Amino acid sequence: MSTPLTEAFAERMQSVGGRISYTTAEGLAETLGGLVERDRPVLFTPELRDLARQLRDVGHEAYVGTREGVAEQTEAAFEGVLERAGTGVSGSLLGISSTGSIAVGPGGGNGGLLIAFPPHSVIILQADSLRKNLAEALPEVERRFDELDGEAVFVSGPSRTADIEMMSVVGVHGPTGLDVIIVEGKEA
Amino acid sequence: MATTSKRNLREEIHRSLEDETLQRAITSAMATLFERRKGALESIDFEETRLEARRLKEEALERNPELLEQLVRKVEGYGGKVFLAKDGVAARTYIADLAVEKGVKTVVKSKSMVSEEVHLNAALEEEGIEVVETDLGERIIQLAHERPSHLIVPAVHKTKDQIIELFARTMGVENPPTEAEDLTRLVRDDLRPRFMKADMGVTGANFVVADTGTLVIVENEGNARLSTQLPPIHVAITGIEKIIPSLEQLGTFLELLPRSGTGQLLTAYVSLITGEPSTDVLDMGRANGGQVTEREFHLVLVDNGRSEAREDPELREALYCVRCGACLNACAPYNQVGGHVYGVDPYPGGIGCAWTWITKGPDSAKEINGLCTTCSRCTEVCPSMIDIPWLNTVIKQRNNERLGMKFRDRVFARADLLGDVSSPFAPVVNAVMKTPLAKVPMGRIGIDRTRKMPEYARETFEDWFQKRGQVTVREPRREAAMFVDCFINHNKPHVGEAAVQVLERVGVKLELAHNECCGRPAMSQGSLDKPRAWAKKNIERLYQLVQEDKDILFIEPSCLSSIRDDYRRLLENEGEETMRKLDQIEERSWDVTEYFLHLVKEERLDLHLRPLDETFVVHGHCHQKSMGIGSVPGEALRLIPEADVIDVNALCCGMVGSFGYKEEYSELSRAIGQRLFDKLNEHEGTVVASGISCQSQIGEGTERDPKHPMEILIKAFA
């Protein structure tokens, strides 16, 4: 059930090395399970606590990616889990179709870290939160700025550099892989 | 701050031109950046967007003191600390003291030009603190103990092979990988533990939002993300000019900055950060001996000459720079020698010269000031529409005033006088100028003796025009006046004659404008008083012509560009009446070829041109390009049946008025020219160039005889 907005978004995101999956709210856990490495921890922003539990239920080492979240489940230090983590999973505020970007909020604390630190980043985007362009998206972020504690990151693809002879290399300090899961509503 | 050692720029230029590795590195990178930018701009209306950006920058700077106060209140309100650093020493001392006080052992830094400006790393290292640049390019130059040579690609001057060798030497890797991807991975793996254990992260900021106290950081690598999220203390250091009123303005800047800089629609990460991050503090720093357990946010706002520049009506616009580097990629001298030669630590290029004046003072700026050829290609691409050539002209003038003007430059400034004196004795002058006798004093005053000086014609264009008396143009379509420029008049009158004949064929009744020199030869030597006086006279004279319903036609694009672009700045203080006249003059002013083409199109003229079975290889004049009429010569020639017209795409011919004649720049001028010559020489046929100094340079470099489009067109009319 793709729309011109999701199609344009996907095309842009893919052109800079992001991968796109489509799913529904019901299929989310399964889709996610297919994307993450089995033998490394998966860290979630707190609003995705349920999703973390669903992954744990099928055998993944999955945590809410905060000091408390990790402490609730294991003796291991938060730092250690973070360093071992294969994937960081984060929700999002909205997507921008024309630039292929996603705005991510503070994610209950460590959101900003979870999209940048683990080698693999997954961001979940609700299809109906897609906006046409920056001009439509920015005022919305601005309106919600207080509730976001003034923290937002526009992510457009995995981290990259061209500092050696202008050759594009994906995955410098941030993730090498970025998966965007677009969650679509039921067919109308 | 005075410079400690005087640079030998001529030697530096020579060395960089001989350095094949450097040449290879810069050439390919610049071309890539230039093309990527062009592609990215297709999705927006660049002119409209940058007009808006310029307006926003002007407004923000106008309100700067008030916005600064608001920002301080806001940041302090949420518990951040703000330090206003009046200069570089204050800024680096504050941060170094803070690091010492907090027991910081390791600082990770993401890219910040301001931190380079204030020499922050040295100050921290003096305290025994490990400073780690984390941007890949910055890390490369940190390991090499160099300074950035480009605003956004700091290690652009290095090839991959040099980087491999550097990593082997400095990172203790015996057999470093050879692919860019693996080299990047090597740095990632080396820096990860340092990120983890760092107690302090230092970043810059591309924008700072006053009414929310928010930093905006635009980046691709994710190192700014990690530098702000992992260490307990985040210090942001930036210039006071980066403050914008609210998030509302951000959209316009974000449309332009990534597109202009890297040719991206948006960079991988654009972070909006307000205060200390909510991220959990890691224990790694403390394990390393750091004592920080709480999060802290410090904002260091650096003045360092910016307030003074803000009060300076001529230099003020340098403060609109968003550091995208597009101007460097478009700059012919930069493309040849790179930012280590064309730059003063840390700011490269023509914009860097202005920033050097602002942050380091006149003496430092003087050294690279002459490298700006005022071709205006930078202004064409600048997202803030900064008139970089004018900034450099003003700096040249101020340094002339402070230190006196070279005799040679005084001579070059008076193209009008030279012509007046030489024309009557043309054969003698031409003969003498070719003798060794003349070459000696030329060399002595700093003119490259191997250059051929332009020859003078005995009969000037003006004399020719007057002598032929009244010419009847039957049923004239338009009336126009020819702006007589010094070089056409004295050196190349036949080009003027061709132009007159072509225009009369299409029904233009012509007269002479009886103008003064446009002033460009003097302005490009940094002499502004005479041009100002001439400009005033020219405006009165040209305005009178406009009142008489006449158009004004220019053969030399540089003269037209003076009137369109420079008079406004030259006469800034003359008041609205002058500006109004200038508006009307501009509306009626045309490049001759542009005018011809316009008439043909508008009047749907059937020219019945004679077919010319020839190839024309066209070089576009820099000022034609900067005025948006770069395609005009080629288009005009394509009207000729059977003519094969090839537009050659090069940055600049490299002569640029007197630039190529100056001994310190002539080697550079020839190197710039060589790129054009090579392209021209790929094709047989007649070379076409609209500029007089372009013609001299191409003539010398290719041993071909370039023609003005009007000289070709008149052949097709015969």
pLDDT digits (tens, 9 = 90+) for A84-127: 999 999 999 999 999 999 999 998 888 889 999 999 999 999 99
Q: How far does B663 lie from chain A, in Å, by closest CA? A: 33
ipTM for the whole complex: 0.97
- How would you label B687-705 residue by residue, b for 16+ Cβ within 10 Å and e otherwise? bbbbbbbbbbbbbbbbebe
Q: What is the pLDDT of residues B253-303, one digit of tens each?
A: 999 999 999 999 999 999 999 998 888 888 887 777 777 888 999 999 999
Contact B131, B121 (CB under 8 A): yes
- Chain B residues near residue A105 by CB distance under 8 angstroms: none
Instruction: Return the ∠ at Cα A116 (arms to B208 and B117), rounded to 5°.
Output: 40
The answer to whether residues A84 and A72 touch, using CB atoms and an 8 Å cutoff, is no
* Average confidence (pLDDT) over B209-221: 97
Residue range of the domain that includes A163: 4-184
Higher pLDDT, B443 or B711: B711
The partner residue sitting opposite A116, judged by closest CB among B154, B229, B280, is B229
Q: Identify the band that residue B389 occupies on the pLDDT scale cut at 50, 70 and 90.
A: very high
Q: Are B621 and B696 in contact (CB under 8 A)?
A: no
DSSP string, chain A: ---HHHHHHHHHHHHTT-EEEEEETTTHHHHHHTTS-TTS-EEE-GGGHHHHHHHHHTT--EEESSHHHHHHH-SS-HHHHHHH-SEEEE--SEEETTTTEEEE--GGGTHHHHTTSSSEEEEEEEGGGEESSHHHHHHHHHHTTTTTTT-EEEE-SS-EE-TTTT--EE-SSS-SEEEEEEEE----
Q: Looking at the 3D structure of chain A, how many domains does it have?
A: 1
Nearest chain B CA: its distance from A9 CA (Å): 12
pLDDT of residue A2: 73
CA distance A143 to A158: 27
The mean per-residue pLDDT over the stretch A147-160 comes to 96
Chain B contacts in chain A segment 54-83 (CB below 8 A): 66-67, 77-79, 82-83
Work out the widest C-alpha separation in chain A, in whole angstroms.
50
Give percent of chain B with pLDDT exceeding 90. Answer: 85
> Is the pLDDT reported for residue B1 higher than 70?
no
CB B233: neighbour CB atoms within 10 A? 24
Asked if B143 is an interface residue toward chain A (Cβ–Cβ < 8 A), one would say no
Cα–Cα distance list, B564 to B201, B308, B543, B561, B586 (Å): 47, 29, 14, 5, 6
Mutate which of B159, B183, B269 to test chain A, going by most A C-beta atoms within 10 A?
B269
CA B444 to chain centre: 31
Please tell me the distance from the alpha carbon of residue B263 to that of residue B259, in angstroms, as a whole number: 4
The position carrying tokens 């920033």 is B355
pLDDT score at A90: 97
Tokens read off for B172: 């203790």
Whether chain B has a CB inside 8 Å of the CB on A187: the answer is no
What is the pLDDT confidence band of residue A158, given thresholds at 50, 70 and 90? very high
Question: What mean pLDDT comes out for the span B398-414?
Answer: 91
| Structural domains for chain B | 58-306 (3.40.50.10420), 607-717 (3.40.50)
What per-residue confidence (pLDDT) applies to A186?
61
User: Quick one: pLDDT at residue B282?
Assistant: 87
Give the model's confidence band at B471: pLDDT under 50 very low, under 70 low, under 90 confident, else very high: confident
Query: Does the structure show a pLDDT above 70 at B3?
Result: no
Please list every residue in chain A whose beta carbon sits closer than 8 Å to the beta carbon of residue B108: none
Closest by CA to B374, choosing from B562, B607, B152, B570, is B562
What pLDDT score was predicted for residue B2? 41
**Phi and psi, residue B516, nearest 5°:** -85, 170
Tell me, what's the pLDDT at A188? 40
Q: Is the pLDDT of residue B511 over 70?
A: yes
Range list of H helices, B230-361: 250-261, 284-287, 306-310, 326-330, 332-341, 349-360
* Residues 109 through 128 of chain A touching chain B, CB cutoff 8 Å: 109-110, 112-113, 115-117
Joined tokens for residue A71? 């402490």
The CATH number of residue A62's host domain is 3.40.50.10420
A139-156 average pLDDT score: 96
Q: What would the two tokens of residue A124 be?
A: 């979940």
